[in-house]
């Protein structure tokens, strides 16, 4: 091909079957539909009067085959005739007009569970997908392009590597649209701008794609604009600014970078279009951002976050752990949750918002607990907190993790998504009831044999096999009902283990053999041969031996006929306002001949797990009346105050 050869963007020789929708003498204005062309099996192309043109139809061609440059309608406008064809031109940098911009309320279903359920996008919304190299930006964007519910998809490879665009061009014709069964390419427009093309072409590619999206929006279609990536587009602005000797701003980007990004994202939205008949359309934007080293504080990412309402941050640590899509559920957010909840409630499941909020709360709580575990270890967690960690693991593996290359798992319908959410929600509720009755989480997981089926449901149950979720729910419910009713050995499930092989007794200590799973500080119930019961605590264990300290002493205990029950929990005492003015022993038993404490709640004597995230710095001064303390070593409320002394000093005073 010689230099200077110009190829038209629209093929001028191909003929299309045109069906007129107006007749001679009709009054038309900008945006009116004057005819249609069945461009593909999925898209009926509506021929519009260009914005800003109006008049009376003087002549219109009959139904037939015409090229895009043939005159199909002659318009009498302001004393002159204007000829219209099946194409018209529009400046790419100028937004196309509309009647009114509306609030986005309908979700854009993508088939990707974390995007639809946790951080939903609305039709007409804006989203950014920032992430470092290797975190899965391109695969996520291509999944959006392949499976999203949008009628028209515009995919812009802005400064892409040539092999990625080649992969897209070769794979798309083979893919089937899950909504219609037709090839995805029949509703997709690809704008290929590779990294070796001129930077001016890269800078223009975003505007060209946006203008095409607005053009199909004006026809009444929901369009999705996918740009990969705006970082390379911003680099083109930087290169052009340098060549024009403009004053650079942060990191060399032009000072008008923020306004250009704002202009780009402001062209998204759901609108009432101009022209007749009345129709609604939308442009949804999902743009990748490539921050160097995953630094979200760099200019392009930080400026982008000012204008988008959905944030899908990609985490390289998740990608390295083979968790895809690698979207960080702690950093991400969506401002459309309240707006799209009504659609989910009305069309899919009235409890969708409850399921979604439960999953988000669990993931956030799990992140807090992991910080606690790093500080003080997992032994400090209560059984309910351990259940949170387990349910969060199920949410991540059974719901958030999704394979783009699995035929069943690549696309999840809204109904399938909700059914998985419901199963996880019910599992949590049923397991919480058992934990509340003293059952250990570890034992629940061991007994729930269908948990593996729940974890694999995303890839084993197809979108049209929802009845299998009913069967799985029934199995889980029957199993939990059996656990609650005592159909299995609840003593064992609850973590209570009974042993009779007391080896020896030394002072207050008792040595029990054959114990393999005793925990430090685990409470023990000792039953003597005559039926008397005492309480003890595990002070050491290992090598199949547990050493138990008996609080009431070992006097009268014989190794023969003594049963030792390990209760699977720490020592708990009841706390209540009834305890004020009373005298109790270390086990919480009354020593003043008063009644036992009935009200209140049980608390572990080892205290609750330390949670630095909810602690406040001590600030309130406590006046003791002791000048050496108040004046020199002030005591604050919530502060620790150890007092060291030798024998004979007045500590108690």
What pLDDT is attached to residue 632? 75
> Would you give the distance in Å from CA 331 to the centre of its chain?
9
If asked whether residues 477 and 525 sit together in one domain, one would say no
Q: What is the pLDDT of residue 491?
A: 47
For residues 268 and 142, membership in a common domain is answered with: yes
Position 521 pLDDT exceeds 50: yes
* Domain membership of residue 545 as a residue range: 496-570
What pLDDT, on the 0 to 100 scale, is given for residue 488? Answer: 43
CA distance 653 to 649: 9
Domain CATH number, residue 64:
2.40.50.100
Q: What is the pLDDT of residue 211?
A: 96
Same domain, 260 and 276: yes
Last residue of a domain, one of 442, 472, 488: 488
* CA dist 625 → 161, 181, 195 (Å): 75, 83, 76
CA dist 419 and 348 (Å) reads 10
pLDDT above 60 (res 612): no
Q: Does 140 or 588 have the greater pLDDT score?
A: 140
pLDDT interval class at 647 (50, 70, 90)? low
Average pLDDT in the 34-45 region? Answer: 94
- pLDDT (tens digit per residue) in 442-451: 888 878 888 8
Q: Band the pLDDT of 559: cuts 50, 70, 90.
A: confident
Q: Which tokens sit at 25?
A: 């003498």
Number of domains in the chain: 5
Picking from 338, 361, 388, the residue at the C-terminal end of a domain is 338
- Residue 415 CA to residue 421 CA, distance in Å, equals 10
- Whether residues 414 and 517 fall in one domain: no
Q: Answer yes or no: do 197 and 307 share one domain.
A: yes
pLDDT attached to residue 648: 60
Nearest to 173 by CA among 40, 13, 36: 40
Question: Does residue 102 carry a pLDDT above 70?
Answer: yes
Torsional class of 174: left (φ above 0), alpha (ψ -120 to 50), beta (otherwise): alpha
Residue 298: C-alpha distances to residues 48, 233, 252 (Å): 42, 15, 12
* 151 plus 268 within the same structural domain: yes
- Asked whether the predicted pLDDT for residue 487 surpasses 50, the reply is no
Same-domain pairing of 298 and 238: yes
CATH number of the domain that 542 lies in?
Answer: 2.40.10.170
pLDDT of 608 strictly over 70: no
Which residues 6+ apart lie within 8 Å of 357 measured at CB? none
Tally of CA atoms within 13 A in the half-sphere of 562 that contains its CB: 25
Top-confidence residue, 228 or 19 = 19
Residue 213 covered by a domain: yes
Question: Is the domain of 472 the same as that of 360?
Answer: yes
Lowest-confidence segment of 13-27, 106-120, 164-178, 283-297 by average pLDDT? 164-178
Average pLDDT, the chain: 87
Give every CB contact of residue 582 below 8 A, 6+ residues apart in sequence: 590, 592, 594
Residue 322, Cβ neighbours under 10 Å: how many? 9
Helices (H), 570-650: 627
371 shares a domain with 323 = no
pLDDT at 572: 79
71 and 164 belong to one structural domain:
no
Read off the pLDDT of each residue in 232-251 and give the average, rounded to a whole number: 90
Judged by average pLDDT, the poorest of 197-201, 296-300, 617-621 is 617-621
Is 423 in the same domain as 295?
Answer: no
Question: Is residue 604 over pLDDT 80?
Answer: no
Cα separations in angstroms, 514 against 377, 547, 569? 27, 11, 19
For the segment 555-564, the average pLDDT, to the nearest whole number, is 87
Contacts of residue 429, Cβ cutoff 8 Å, sequence gap at least 6: none
Q: Residues 88-98: pLDDT tens digits? A: 999 999 999 99
The answer as to whether 588 is a domain residue is no
Residue 270: both structure tokens together: 């759901």
Chain center to CA of 92: 35
Q: Domain boundary at 535, 570, 605, which?
A: 570
C-alpha span between 320 and 296 (Å, rounded): 19
Q: Are residues 217 and 295 both part of a single domain? A: yes
């Amino acid at each position: 091909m010689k230099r200077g050869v110009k190829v038209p963007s629209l093929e001028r020789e191909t003929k299309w079957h045109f069906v007129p929708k107006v007749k001679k003498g009709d009054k038309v204005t900008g945006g009116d539909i004057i005819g249609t062309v069945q461009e593909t099996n999925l898209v009926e192309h509506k021929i519009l009067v260009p914005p800003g043109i109006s008049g009376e139809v003087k002549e219109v061609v009959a139904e037939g085959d015409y090229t895009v440059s043939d005159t199909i309608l002659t318009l009498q406008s302001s004393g002159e005739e204007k000829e219209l064809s099946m194409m018209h031109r529009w400046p790419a940098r100028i937004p196309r007009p509309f009647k009114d911009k509306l609030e986005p309320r309908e979700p854009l279903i993508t088939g990707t569970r974390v995007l639809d359920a946790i951080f939903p996008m609305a039709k007409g919304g804006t989203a950014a997908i920032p992430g470092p190299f290797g975190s899965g930006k391109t695969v996520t964007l291509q999944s959006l392009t392949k499976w999203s519910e949008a009628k028209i998809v515009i995919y812009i490879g802005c400064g892409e590597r040539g092999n990625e665009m080649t992969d897209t061009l070769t794979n798309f014709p083979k893919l089937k649209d899950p909504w219609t069964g037709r090839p995805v390419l029949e509703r997709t427009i690809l704008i290929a701008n590779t990294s070796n093309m001129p930077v001016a072409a890269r800078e223009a590619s975003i505007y060209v794609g946006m203008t095409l999206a607005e053009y199909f929006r004006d026809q009444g279609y929901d369009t999705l604009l996918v740009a990969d990536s705006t970082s390379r587009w911003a680099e083109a602005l930087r290169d052009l600014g340098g060549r024009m000797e403009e004053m650079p701003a942060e990191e060399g980007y032009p000072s008008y970078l923020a306004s250009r990004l704002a202009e780009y994202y402001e062209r998204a939205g759901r609108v009432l279009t101009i022209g007749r008949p009345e129709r609604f359309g939308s442009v949804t934007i999902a743009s990748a951002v490539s921050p160097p080293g995953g630094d979200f504080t760099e200019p392009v990412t930080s400026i982008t976050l000012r204008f988008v309402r959905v944030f899908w941050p990609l985490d390289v640590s998740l990608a390295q752990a083979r968790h895809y899509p690698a979207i960080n559920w702690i950093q991400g957010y969506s401002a459309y949750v309240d707006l799209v909840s009504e659609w989910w409630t009305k069309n899919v499941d009235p409890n969708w918002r409850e399921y979604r909020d439960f999953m988000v709360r669990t993931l956030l709580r799990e992140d807090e607990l992991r910080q606690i575990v790093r500080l003080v270890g997992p032994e400090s967690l209560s059984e309910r907190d351990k259940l949170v960690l387990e349910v969060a693991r199920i949410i991540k593996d059974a719901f958030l993790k999704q394979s783009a290359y699995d035929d069943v798992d690549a696309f999840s319908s809204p109904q399938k998504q909700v059914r998985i959410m419901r199963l996880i929600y019910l599992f949590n509720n049923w397991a919480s009831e058992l934990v509340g009755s003293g059952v250990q989480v570890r034992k629940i997981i061991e007994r729930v044999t269908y948990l593996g089926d729940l974890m694999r449901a995303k890839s084993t149950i197809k979108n049209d096999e929802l009845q299998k979720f009913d069967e799985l729910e029934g199995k889980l419910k029957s199993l939990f009902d059996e656990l609650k009713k005592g159909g299995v050995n609840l003593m064992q499930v609850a973590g209570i283990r009974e042993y009779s092989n007391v080896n020896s007794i030394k002072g207050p200590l008792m040595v029990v053999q054959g114990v393999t799973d005793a925990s430090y500080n685990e409470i023990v119930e000792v039953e003597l041969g005559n039926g008397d019961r005492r309480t003890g605590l595990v002070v050491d264990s290992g090598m199949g031996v547990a050493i138990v300290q008996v609080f009431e002493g070992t006097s009268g205990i014989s190794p023969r006929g003594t049963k030792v029950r390990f209760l699977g929990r720490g020592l708990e005492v009841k706390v209540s306002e009834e305890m004020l003015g009373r005298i109790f022993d270390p086990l919480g038993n009354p020593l003043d001949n008063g009644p036992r404490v009935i009200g209140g709640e049980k608390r572990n004597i080892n205290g609750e797990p330390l949670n630095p995230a909810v602690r406040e710095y001590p600030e309130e001064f406590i006046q003791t009346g002791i000048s050496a303390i108040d004046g020199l070593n002030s005591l604050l409320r919530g502060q620790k105050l150890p007092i060291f002394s030798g024998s004979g000093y007045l500590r108690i005073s």
